[in-house]
Amino acid sequence: MENFKADNYKYGFSYPEKPAYKLEKGLNEDTVKGISRIKNEPLWMLSYRLRAYKTFLSKKLPLWGADLSGLNFNDLYYYLKPYQSNADTWESLPKDIKETYDRIGIPDAEQRYLAGVKAQYDSEIVYGSLLAELKKKGVIFLSMEEGLRKHPKIVREYFGKAIPASDNKFSALNSAVWSGGSFIYIPKNVKVELPLQAYFRINAKKMGQFERTLIIADEGSFVSYIEGCTAPIYSQDSLHAAVVEIFVKKNARVRYSTVQNWSRNVYNLVTKRAFVYEDAVMEWVDGNLGSKITMKYPSVYLMEKGARGVILSMALAGKNQFLDAGGKAVHLAENTSSQIISKSISKNGGGSNYRGLVKVCANAKNCKSSVVCDGLILDKKSYTNTFPVMDVAGKNAQVAHEASVGRVDEEQLFYLTSRGISEQEAVNMLVNGFIEPIAKEFPMEYALELNSLIALEMEGGVNA
Amino acid sequence: MPSKEIKVNLDKAKETAKVERVFVGRKNEELEIDIHIVHNARKTISKVLVKVVLYDNATFRFNGRIRVLKKAHLSEGSLRLQALLIGDNCRVFAEPALEIENNSVKCFHKVSISKLNEEEIFYLISKGLERDSAIDLVVQGFVRAQP
């Protein structure tokens, strides 16, 4: 029984559109030129976009993973600018945008937790604020557009280096029509204690979201970034094809956490990759709850000795959802290590998969990797698959992989219900226990949101 | 010539399949095996255990697939791959996939790819063995060990 009805969805509201500028529907070279012109970009970025557009046309849809035949690239809008310019204070934002963010809860979050907030409303970063001390330390936290304008040299040095346009069809699309996203630079030895946060939202019908994020953590630095998104419900399909590139320099550490809760009509096809340098650490913490189809494999490329990558991925797929998630760890240097933990849950006919890669290249000696991918199927209609690939060449490599698939353990369920806990609650507890290694890595506010989102999902109950 | 592909269909209730293979690769040998198990009846059981020892520049490619279809209630499937890489230029490519369509089952797979434990080798050498003999003993232990 599907309890997750449209009218129960607490974020399922939207405001009538009043965009300042909206390009024609569909995608062609003029769309790409139009986007670049609106943003006043330097010539090299326009050329980059146009080359990427050609690459996009030449690439095929992937033959594996989800069924993407329902996507019609010409039936989407590729740019929608909500109003004229960024606001610097909460008060100067237009009313309906403020109300949107009130309902999602940003003011509270900002006051209590966060160093800076960049909020996104349909393709532009609408509001940002950065605490004075971080600015003094030289931390840069801007929209991608502003980053390009104010720090063109840094952007040009890194943009597209981890994920070239040619990587896959959706990174090519993003490279052509990207809009919004964050640009973050943390100077040497600066540690940003409070997490940086951004929200994303697709509002207009048939809107594509193509944010582009670039994070550079210079030597010895630390930053934690949180991305959480919601979108209202529409009957036509929306597309979210983001690209996130992260460069973690020597001895630095970056943690990138996501709670993805797109409404059930969204195609969520994201490319995320981190290049990790000497003795540096990259941690991806990925929670996937929403969308109609998700294909997402956050990756770590361990470029220099001592680098370490951790990928914690969780997916809960309900009715009509197909979540294909996982991670890739590529060991390119000696003494590198990686860890992947993936927890997939399927219910009400949904499908959640783990798809992953551990590759240890021939010159990468003494590497270690451990992968655990577990699947929980809650009822007869649902399914789960795991497709882990190990390609190990380097000398003295130690690679371990474990996967298990099953259902909620009868004995554990009996134990809890015999203590007076209802079956519904007991299943909730067991599901929370199943994902605990990942849920506990989220900052508390997100962990709470995650738990309540899961409880909402689980309200349909377990059908034996 | 041993086959490169093993396909097992478990179509009758309570059928059990056990697949055990040991591979030893030397010099430039390229070894491979595909193992496909399909559970299509209730309470079927599969147990796959593959052990691989690679010397020199040998390579091993493994494609494993346990599929559990809707009718296979209460089935159990397990797949274990253990590889010991001794040579400097060995390579293992493994994709052990699980495709599960029934939620009453218990399935798992475990893969471990490891190198020689130098402490064990040192221990044996300190007891008077040549290095090659020490390695042989360790390899024998690896192959015989029951999971």
Digit-coded pLDDT (tens) for A282-304:
999 998 888 889 999 999 999 99
CB contact under 8 A, B100 and A396: no
CB contact under 8 A, A398 and B95: no
CA distance B18 to B23: 17
Whose CA is closest to A246, among A162, A153, A339, A330?
Answer: A162
Please compute the mean of the pLDDT values over residues A99-121 and round it to a whole number: 45
CB contact under 8 A, A404 and B92: no
Task: Render A78-116 in DSSP notation, one character per residue.
Answer: --EE-SSS-BSSGGGS-HHHHHHHHHHTHHHHHHHT-SE
Tell me what pLDDT residue A211 has.
85
**Angle, CA of A109, A146 and A141, to the nearest 5°:** 40
Residues of A at the B interface, defined by Cβ within 8 angstroms: 362, 375, 377-380, 382-393, 395-407
Higher-pLDDT residue of A237 and B16 is B16
Tell me what pLDDT residue A100 has.
52
Same-domain status, B122 and B65: no
CB contact under 8 A, B108 and A403: yes
Whose CA is closest to A174, among A78, A277, A37?
Answer: A78
CB A118 within 8 A of CB A141: yes
Task: Determine if residue A40 is left, alpha or beta; phi over 0 gives left, psi from -120 to 50 gives alpha, anything else beta.
Answer: left
Across the interface, of B94, B95, B104, the residue whose CB is closest to A407 is: B104
Same-domain status, B106 and B143: no
Q: How distant, in Å, are the alpha carbons of A155, A176, A253 from that of A160?
A: 9, 11, 21
User: Mutating which of B38, B103, B105, B111 best tests the A interface, going by the most A Cβ atoms within 10 A?
Assistant: B103
Across the interface, of A387, A391, A398, the residue whose CB is closest to B93 is: A391
The chain B residue lying nearest A379, using CA atoms, is: B103
Confidence of residue A7 (pLDDT cuts 50, 70, 90): very low
How many helices (H) and strands (E) are present in chain A, helices listed first? 11, 24
List the domain boundaries for chain A: 6-296
Structural domain harbouring B136: 116-147
Digit-coded pLDDT (tens) for A402-428:
998 888 888 999 999 999 999 888 988
A45-49, B45-49, B100-104: the lowest-pLDDT one: B100-104
Higher-pLDDT residue of A261 and A160 is A160
Tell me what pLDDT residue A26 has.
81
Please compute the mean of the pLDDT values over residues A207-211 and round it to a whole number: 72
Digit-coded pLDDT (tens) for A38-75:
888 999 999 999 999 999 999 988 888 888 887 888 77
CB contact under 8 A, A388 and B95: yes
Same-domain status, B46 and B102: yes
Q: Using DSSP, state whether A279 is helix, strand or coil.
A: coil
Across the interface, of A377, A382, A402, the residue whose CB is closest to B108 is: A402
Across the interface, of A380, A383, A401, the residue whose CB is closest to B111 is: A401
Q: Which residue has the tokens 């939620």?
A: B103
The chain A residue lying nearest B101, using CA atoms, is: A383
Residue-wise burial string across B22-37, b where 16 or more C-beta atoms lie within 10 A, e elsewhere = ebbbeeeeebebebeb
Across the interface, of B94, B104, B114, the residue whose CB is closest to A390 is: B94
Same-domain status, B121 and B85: no
Q: Which residues of A touch B110 (CB under 8 A)?
A: 400-403
Same-domain status, B107 and B121: no
- Say yes or no to pLDDT of A82 above 70: no
Same-domain status, B129 and B75: no
Sort strands A266-276 and A299-302 into parallel, antiparallel or unpaired.
parallel
CA distance B140 to B135: 9
The chain B residue lying nearest A409, using CA atoms, is: B104
Q: How many CB atoms lie within 10 A of CB B141?
A: 10
The 3 state secondary structure assigned to B66-102 is EEECCCCCCCEEEEEEEEEECCCCCEEEEEEEEEECC
Same-domain status, B16 and B50: yes
CB contact under 8 A, A401 and B90: no
Residues in chain B: 147
**Helix spans in A330-461 (H):** 410-417, 423-439, 444-458
Task: Render A126-164 in DSSP notation, one character per residue.
Answer: EEEEE-HHHHHHT-EEEEHHHHHHH-HHHHHHHTTTSS-
Q: How distant, in Å, are the alpha carbons of A107, A351, B19, B92, B113 from that of B60?
A: 56, 32, 17, 5, 11
The chain B residue lying nearest A387, using CA atoms, is: B97
Higher-pLDDT residue of A10 and A114 is A10
The shortest C-alpha distance from A410 to chain B (Å) reads 10
ipTM of the complex: 0.84
* Positions of E strands within chain B: 5-10, 16-25, 30-39, 45-54, 59-68, 76-85, 91-100, 106-114
Same-domain status, B44 and B104: yes
The shortest C-alpha distance from A251 to chain B (Å) reads 27
The chain B residue lying nearest A359, using CA atoms, is: B93
Same-domain status, B30 and B91: yes
CA distance A26 to A308: 42
Domain count, chain B: 2
Sort strands B106-114 and A398-406 into parallel, antiparallel or unpaired.
antiparallel
Confidence of residue A162 (pLDDT cuts 50, 70, 90): very high
CB B44 within 8 A of CB B16: yes
Tell me what pLDDT residue A126 has.
41
Q: Which residues of B touch A386 (CB under 8 A)?
A: 97-98, 109
The shortest C-alpha distance from B146 to chain A (Å) reads 17
Higher-pLDDT residue of A53 and A87 is A53
- Say yes or no to pLDDT of A310 above 90: yes
CB A204 within 8 A of CB A17: yes
Query: Which residues are within 8 A (CB) of A132 and not within 5 positions of it... i.e. 6 or more apart?
Result: none
Q: Which residues of A touch B115 (CB under 8 A)?
A: 395-398
Could you give the percent of chain A with pLDDT greater than 90? 47
Confidence of residue A432 (pLDDT cuts 50, 70, 90): confident
The chain B residue lying nearest A374, using CA atoms, is: B108
Mean pLDDT of all residues belonging to chain A: 81
For chains A and B, CB pairs below 8 A equal 106
Please compute the mean of the pLDDT values over residues A151-174 and round it to a whole number: 94
CB B66 within 8 A of CB B98: yes
Could you give the percent of chain B with pLDDT greater than 90? 79
Residues of B at the A interface, defined by Cβ within 8 angstroms: 70, 83, 85, 88-115
Sort strands A293-296 and A266-276 into parallel, antiparallel or unpaired.
parallel
CB contact under 8 A, B91 and A386: no
Same-domain status, B70 and B86: yes
Same-domain status, B78 and B130: no
CB contact under 8 A, A395 and B102: no
Digit-coded pLDDT (tens) for A230-276:
443 343 457 889 999 999 999 999 999 988 877 777 889 999 999 99
The chain A residue lying nearest B85, using CA atoms, is: A396
Same-domain status, B103 and B142: no
- Say yes or no to pLDDT of A8 above 50: no
Q: Which residues of B touch A398 (CB under 8 A)?
A: 112-115
